Amino acid sequence: MTKVNDPYELRAGVPSVDVFRRLRTDAGLSDKSPEAVALALPNTWHGVLLLHDGQPIGMGRIVGDGGTAFQIVDMCVHPAHQGRGLGRRIMAALTEELERRAPATAYVSLIADGPARHLYEKFGFADTADHDSIGMYRVIGTPFGTR
């Protein structure tokens, strides 16, 4: 829901490769190669862009197999616009789409960096350690045994 005189607009879709990379780095997330981003964006199950006066300043995406497993990724808002509930608006749009289209037995995961965990908890996400699970990762191109 957009408020009257609200300079922010939430729109379904994904950004261009260049805008994707800028949004991530502006928000302090790691950069991704243009080639990797070009491969990734068309595989988005659902994405949203947050615009301020028509310019992209935030985004979020859902990726997955479309049936059993989904992951929320690339959640970010430009630092100049943080603290205004905009991350919550992005997350609400993503979770609403999951609840609308994903099967009831689907597993939805995400990685929460720092205080973002508090935002995700408000949408029903819980620490996997509380459920006798542990989240793990590996970056391709990184030798085994290093991080």
Please write the tens of the pLDDT for every residue from 13-61.
Answer: 999 999 999 999 999 999 999 999 999 999 999 999 999 999 999 999 9
Please write the tens of the pLDDT for every residue from 106-145.
Answer: 999 999 887 888 899 999 998 888 888 888 888 888 777 6
Give residue for tokens 């989240």: 135
Q: How far apart are CA 67 and CA 105, in angstroms?
A: 8
pLDDT at 32: 96
pTM for the model stands at: 0.89
For residue 41, how many other CB atoms are within 10 A of its CB?
18
Q: Which residue has the higher pLDDT, 12 or 6?
A: 12
Supply φ then ψ for residue 122, to 5 degrees.
Answer: -65, -15
Handedness of CA 134, 138, 94, 89 (dihedral sign): positive
Give residue for tokens 């100049």: 80
Give residue for tokens 């819980």: 126
